[in-house]
């Protein structure tokens, strides 16, 4: 373990290329992503995450969300299979029906849980019950799905957690001010404690593995602090993981693509005011640019 985290930027990604895709690869070879999320009041978060997963190259997409939102989601995203799940009185996913998700989860290469989930107790229970079915899968836990760490304490297999400073303070019991003061230390301690890859998001984003290896990204802009931005980042990470990237590599690429997409939108539209729904297509443009740069240097 190096005490100094590795810097993350475009040049770093060029030295850490994504797993190659054969030109003849079908959609199965590019991986299947399952996104579990949404609620009666925040139905669009899974749409943002799913769009990002496909834009970075995942081959197949399954969205599992509350029944009240499933039909409209299927119309909004015809590229995806949409599964309607029973709801709690609070408008979240009913954990008592989690068994219906197990075969779908087992068929997925990457599983993202959390975008748009609002019923905190139900979400924690659902994730706790679902985890045994996710063994051997690449798992990304976002938003309220991360609360499961307060129950499980430590994962049998590493998963990816994507907290901002406030969420890290809630999950770890540390003061938010301490997290902000020493993000590298906070991320490393959490990764080791939970046996997880932790992406502590902020103006400086730190990615840490359980063994202490870490990466640091500085960039992005104020416009990325907008509703749904985190959903697009989580979806992009899941999509890259479905293509065969490791948790830390998928996260590193996702963080840089997300930040650069924000920078490019800010240049065209202004520093604030662009929408999260505009980020996935911009991430695709950034990805294509990096790939072209890689080819030109060979």
pLDDT at 1: 64
Per-residue pLDDT of the chain (298 residues; tens, 9 = 90+): 667 899 999 999 999 999 887 666 555 667 899 999 999 999 999 999 999 999 999 999 999 999 999 999 999 999 999 999 999 998 999 999 888 898 999 899 999 999 999 999 999 999 999 999 999 999 999 999 999 999 998 999 999 999 999 999 999 999 999 999 999 999 999 999 999 999 999 889 999 999 999 999 998 789 999 999 999 999 999 999 999 999 999 999 999 999 999 999 999 999 999 999 999 999 999 999 998 887 776 6
Domain count, the chain: 1
Range of the domain at 12: 6-16+26-296
Q: How far is CA 212 from CA 42, 193, 224, 247, in A?
A: 35, 11, 28, 14
In a domain, 97, yes or no: yes
In a domain, 1, yes or no: no
The conformation of residue 62, written as its DSSP 8-state character, comes to E
In a domain, 212, yes or no: yes
pLDDT at 292: 83
In a domain, 202, yes or no: yes
In a domain, 91, yes or no: yes
In a domain, 21, yes or no: no
* Close Cβ partners of 270 (under 8 Å, ≥ 6 residues apart): 223
In a domain, 226, yes or no: yes
In a domain, 275, yes or no: yes
pTM of the model: 0.95
């Amino acid at each position: 373990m190096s005490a100094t985290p590795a810097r993350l930027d475009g040049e770093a990604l060029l030295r850490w290329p994504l797993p190659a895709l054969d030109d003849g690869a079908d959609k199965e070879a590019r991986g299947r992503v399952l996104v579990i999320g949404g609620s009666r009041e925040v139905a669009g978060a899974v749409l943002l995450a799913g769009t990002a997963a496909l834009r970075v190259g995942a081959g197949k997409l399954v969205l599992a969300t509350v029944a009240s939102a499933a039909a409209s989601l299927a119309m909004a995203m015809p590229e995806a299979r949409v599964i309607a799940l029973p709801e709690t009185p609070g408008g979240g996913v009913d954990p008592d029906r989690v068994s219906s998700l197990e075969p779908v989860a087992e068929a997925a290469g990457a599983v993202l849980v959390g975008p748009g989930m609002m019923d905190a107790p139900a979400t924690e229970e659902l994730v706790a019950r679902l985890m045994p079915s996710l063994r051997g899968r690449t798992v990304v836990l976002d938003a309220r799905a991360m609360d499961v760490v307060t129950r499980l304490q430590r994962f049998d297999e590493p998963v990816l957690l994507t907290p901002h400073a406030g969420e890290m303070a809630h999950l770890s019991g540390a003061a938010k001010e301490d997290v902000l003061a020493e993000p590298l230390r906070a991320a490393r301690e959490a990764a080791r404690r939970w046996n997880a890859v932790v992406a502590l998001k902020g103006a400086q984003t730190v990615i840490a593995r359980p063994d202490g290896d870490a990466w640091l990204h500085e960039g992005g802009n104020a416009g990325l602090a907008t509703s749904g931005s985190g959903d697009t980042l989580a979806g992009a990470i899941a999509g890259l993981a479905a293509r065969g990237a490791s948790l830390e590599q998928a996260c590193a690429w996702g963080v840089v693509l997300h930040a650069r997409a924000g920078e490019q939108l800010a240049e065209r539209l202004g520093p604030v005011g662009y929408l999260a729904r505009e980020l996935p297509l911009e991430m695709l443009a950034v990805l294509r640019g990096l790939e072209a740069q890689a080819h030109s240097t060979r």
